[in-house]
Amino acid sequence: MHDTAISLIELGAVFFGLGILGRLAWKIGVSPIPLYLLGGLAFGTGGLVPLHGIEPFTHLASEIGVVLLLLLLGLEYSAGELVTGLRRSWLAGIIDIVLNAVPGALVALLLGWGPLGALTMAGVTYISSSGIVAKVLGDLGRLGNRETPVILSILVFEDLAMAVYLPILTAVLAGVSFLGGLTAVGVSLVVITLVLVVALKFGKYVSALIDSPDPEVFLLRLLGSALLVAGIASELQVSAAVGSFLLGIAISGSTAANATRMLEPLRDLFAALFFVVFGLNTDPSQIPPVLPIALLLAVATVATKVVTGWFAARMQGVGKMGRLRAGAALVARGEFSIVIAGLAVASGAVPGELAALATAYVLLMAILGPVAARVVEPVARLFLSRQAKKA
């Protein structure tokens, strides 16, 4: 059979399989991310039926998936919301970094993966999944709850922290000098500041440049600008993900709403491929040895996220039940953790076992997160009622 025909058949099977997995996730009420990762593991290196011949397309498609993930994340926030969220949650955000980045870094050091592995795993365990958290809050009807602004402010702080962290990680993985790393961080901070100023003062002009009454022209301008900015950012060692996130922030008003509506199906498609490709490049035989570590890490970071949410909500005067709900809502890890692990593994600067640990960890946390958010209130009420009866 011709190579092109084989590639088309394999791609068709992948897309159709993703559709089945997405439907299954929707039926059982969980994020599709764990199922996409499992699908990649099944058909990648060491999997049940390894796929060959689709790597050039899937590699580029997965890169586009990261760009679209971060672009739509940026579209969710206005520059004003980012600044307000930063002011409101900076102390809780710092506590979040300490409590949730340290466990990942310690595990990497104990496993002998060195400073690079520690820096990578710190990011993997630190960042909550904005996509999963937002979906869970919507599904549970908690968008109007008093603790929800606290949750969103923590997510905003984490996303801004990623805009600084990713350029540092990219520079370090590339093996640049200390001075080169400082330059990358400096460029990143300058770019972030400029984008926020432009978005606050001139956001309407950026939106007007991209906007168009013709859907086809609008989509071409939007995708073109996203890929251009991501490419330039990557060349400047700022990271393509950060570049697309900042572009999303700069687009505002009705343009942002239209962009979100048009890009969501594309994001879901390419992001699904991104998770599959990460699974394809992970040897499933490496997961069983790191599974106990992933479980311990999951238990530890569930607790640290709950503490983070509790503290942040308490600072805003939220009641005890709301504090618990805030902490449980932040538990899920997902897309950003895989982006970080993917960058590190692709560089070849960290061992392949890191991908296996990150995969196992995200599989657990993407499932535990929605479950924790659903059961925290009933479990807490049951515990309190039993305590009242004993008293």
pLDDT in tens, 339-365: 888 888 878 888 878 888 998 998 889
Nearest to 15 by CA among 381, 275, 273: 273
Mean pLDDT on 39-50: 68
Ranges 46-50, 151-155, 181-185, 309-313: which has the least confidence: 46-50
Distance CA 222, CA 142 (A): 32
21 assigned to some structural domain: yes
Q: Is residue 149 part of a domain?
A: yes
In a domain, 346, yes or no: yes
* Digit-coded pLDDT (tens) for 275-299: 787 777 777 788 889 999 999 999 9
126-179: per-residue pLDDT in tens?
Answer: 999 877 787 788 777 887 788 888 887 888 788 778 877 887 887 788 776 656
Whether residue 373 is contained in a domain is answered as: yes
Higher per-residue pLDDT: 349 or 119: 119
**Residue predicted with more confidence, 48 or 340:** 340
Grade residue 239 by pLDDT with cuts at 50, 70 and 90: low
Question: Is residue 259 domain-resident?
Answer: yes
- Residue 299 is predicted with a pLDDT of 95
pLDDT band for position 95 (50/70/90)? very high
Residue 391 included in any domain: no
Is the pLDDT at 117 greater than 60? The verdict is yes
CATH of the domain at 362: 1.20.1530.20
**For range 35-49, the mean pLDDT:** 72
pLDDT at 238: 62
Which has the higher per-residue pLDDT, 391 or 345? 345
Determine how many CB atoms are found less than 10 A away from the CB of residue 234.
17
The answer to whether position 63 is within a domain reads yes
Alpha carbon distances (Å) from 87 to 186, 191, 196, 203: 22, 20, 14, 21
Query: In the predicted model, is pLDDT for residue 83 greater than 60?
Result: yes
Whether residue 372 lies inside any domain: the answer is yes
Confidence at residue 304, expressed as pLDDT on a 0 to 100 scale: 96
Report the pLDDT value the prediction gives residue 55, as an integer from 0 to 100.
Answer: 67
64-83 average pLDDT score: 76
Q: pLDDT tens digit string along 251-275?
A: 877 888 888 888 888 888 887 887 7
* Mean pLDDT of the residues in the chain: 81
Q: What is the pLDDT of residue 2?
A: 58
- Number of domains, the chain: 1
The per-residue pLDDT for 44 is 66
Question: In the predicted model, what is the mean pLDDT of residues 312-318?
Answer: 89
Domain extent, residue 156, equals 3-386
User: What is the C-alpha separation between 32 and 42, in angstroms, rounded?
Assistant: 15
Better pLDDT: 81 or 118: 118
